[in-house]
Structure 1
Amino acid sequence: MSTVTTPDADAAVSRGSLPLRAEIRRQLSRRRTLVVFAVLVALPLVLVGAFALGGRDDGTAQRGFVDLAQDSGANLVVFALFASTGFLLVVVVALFAGDPVPSEASWSSLRYLLTAPVRRERLLRQKLVAAGLFSLAAFVFLPAWALLVGGIAYGWGPYVGPTGDQLGYPLLLARLGVVVVYLFLSLAVVGAFAFLLGTTTDAPLAAVGGGVVLWIVCAILDQITALGGLRQALPGHFAFAWADALAPTVDWSAMAQGALWSVGYSVVLVGVAVWRFLRRDVTS
């Protein structure tokens, strides 16, 4: 006796397939997830060890984030973010966003997921949401862990900025929340570009590397002053604008521009990725 399926029944099965919790479990079991968080665990420890070997600079001139890192755990957090914004966090986002789709393709499991049945747009959405969640978790984990390590190593004093202004812990934690959100938004363009590349290749390294290369190329172009105001449109031009959130009075202008440019690029890139993937032959 044959069973007749209706479009509504197929849609219901598709909606129930590949739940987000299953995708999160899949990504948690990946070795690269463990490696990413192992590196984030090691970073504050390496910084504390490096400062212990190098000693302390007690000069009277105005000091920057690196010079103030040993003043308190709060200052170590800020320096850890400063040191990782230009490359480490870029790699983290590119890895979480660019790896999932081409990895499935390289393992020949992508076509089986799509015949589960899982609608293509649902598969992309689940993987993109999972990538965003893991990236955000990494951005939250790094300052939280650095604060614990720095507090043990240097004490729990307030954050002291380069100009001598201080932020107590309740206000500092709120400002760090702003920093994390801004980093997530400003680096979204890296994840979106890596995600786009991931829908066009079976090589995870190409997708991840492409996202990192985009950031590096834009950083190089940003040094060309002849570009003038065009540099503001480059991804990464406002990468360190989060430092404004740690001033006594927050100037939102640079962060707003950086976030808007990044989100705008990300929407376009993800849209192209979906359009491309819906038309790609992934069954052969």
Structure 2
Amino acid sequence: MSTPALADVASGYRAARTLPLRVELARQLKRRRTMVMFGILAALPFVLVAAFAIGGDPEGRGDRVTLMDTATASGANFAAVSLFVSAGFLLVIPVALFCGDTVASEAGWSSLRYLLAAPVPRARLLWSKLAVGLGLSLAAMVLLPVVALAVGTAAYGWGPLAIPTGGSLAAGTAAQRLAVVVAYVFVSQLVTAGLAFWLSTRTDAPLGAVGGAVGLTIVGNVLDAVTALGDWRHFLPAHWQFAWADAVQPRPEWSGMIQGTAVSVTYALVLFALAFRGFARKDIVS
């Protein structure tokens, strides 16, 4: 028995050419929340410099010296401290925002069904939005240390990265290690990106997707603080979020970052797969 003929499509139509990345990127860059988020991250180093200028140089706690205590040693130290104070929570916000708002906002504007009727295949729409969301998240994470390095160098000078445990890294080596740190922080935030993106395909409320991802990330941090869980905490992405500190040592240790990467990527792939699977079967009415 012959297969029924497929419906005719418009001449020149190519599913792979619908919703190009450059179009989606331009749409997202023009949104006010994108500009506000980038503005906040770019302003943070200036706020920290002002705080140190008002409060004076950080002082060690007795015989214990922390990374925060070396913040004004050089521009490299200032950039490392900026990452340290923001990696736990502040950098979660742009990831949740860019990946959680992307699909839900279209549903909230009642434009999602029109995009799919364009027609943009569902998988193509999700791939475009996910790629742009992750790209903007990475840009946000790169922006902070780059601005911090420039501001810190102007305020405290260009020099080696002083290590709290003793010793230092040459400025060039420190810049390379900070690049590794940024890459690891981005990978560690893939779980938040996966949560936000999955929730974005499940709700028409952008705030629900963004807030849900941030809330679940906070829950993970709280659970990691429960020492009674013992080795079970090793399965929590939050347990490895500061493993990047091993990269700013005279002899870097990679085992913690490797384990953290494996955990984060595994969770993220599962969440992304759930998002694509659920959206493919979802009845779009918005």
Q: Normalising by structure 1, report the TM-score.
A: 0.95
- Do the aligned residues in 1 keep the contact of 2:76 with 2:175 (CA within 8 Å)? no
2:195 maps to 1:193 = yes
Equivalent residues in 2 for 1:201-220 (5 A)? 201-220=203-222
What is the rounded CA distance, in whole Å, between the counterparts of 1:124 and 1:271 in structure 2?
A: 11
- Do the aligned residues in 2 keep the contact of 1:94 with 1:190 (CA within 8 Å)? yes
2:104 maps to 1:102 = yes
Q: CA deviation at 1:176?
A: 1.1
- Aligned equivalent of 2:176: 174
Q: CA deviation at 1:235?
A: 2.0
- Aligned equivalent of 2:131: 129
- Aligned equivalent of 1:39: 40
Q: CA deviation at 1:61?
A: 2.7
Identity of aligned residues (%): 53
What is the rounded CA distance, in whole Å, between the counterparts of 2:10 and 2:177 in structure 1?
A: 48
Amino acid at match of 1:170: G
Q: Secondary structure at the match of 2:123?
A: helix
**Mean Cα deviation higher: 18-27 or 220-229:** 220-229
- Do the aligned residues in 2 keep the contact of 1:94 with 1:191 (CA within 8 Å)? yes
- Aligned equivalent of 2:283: 281
Q: CA deviation at 1:5?
A: 8.3
Q: Secondary structure at the match of 1:42?
A: helix
What is the rounded CA distance, in whole Å, between the counterparts of 1:279 and 1:6 in structure 2?
A: 21
What is the rounded CA distance, in whole Å, between the counterparts of 1:183 and 1:204 in structure 2?
A: 24
- Aligned equivalent of 1:27: 28
Q: CA deviation at 1:24?
A: 0.3
Q: CA deviation at 1:115?
A: 0.6
- Do the aligned residues in 2 keep the contact of 1:13 with 1:117 (CA within 8 Å)? no
Equivalent residues in 2 for 1:39-118 (5 A)? 39-59=40-60, 61-118=63-120
Amino acid at match of 2:82: A
Structure 1: runs of 5 or more not aligned: none
Q: CA deviation at 1:139?
A: 1.1
- Aligned equivalent of 1:184: 186
- Do the aligned residues in 1 keep the contact of 2:52 with 2:58 (CA within 8 Å)? no
Q: CA deviation at 1:62?
A: 3.4
Q: CA deviation at 1:224?
A: 1.2
Match of 2:224 among 218, 222, 225: 222
Q: How many corresponding residue pairs? A: 281
- Aligned equivalent of 1:14: 15
Equivalent residues in 2 for 1:204-283 (5 A)? 204-283=206-285
What is the rounded CA distance, in whole Å, between the counterparts of 1:126 and 1:99 in structure 2?
A: 14
* Deviation readout 1:142-195 (Å, 9 max, x if unpaired): 111000000111111111010122111221121111111111111100000010
- Do the aligned residues in 2 keep the contact of 1:244 with 1:252 (CA within 8 Å)? yes
Q: Secondary structure at the match of 2:240?
A: coil
Q: Normalising by structure 2, report the TM-score.
A: 0.94
Change (3 A) 1:159 1:236: same
Structure 2: runs of 5 or more not aligned: none
- Do the aligned residues in 1 keep the contact of 2:141 with 2:182 (CA within 8 Å)? yes
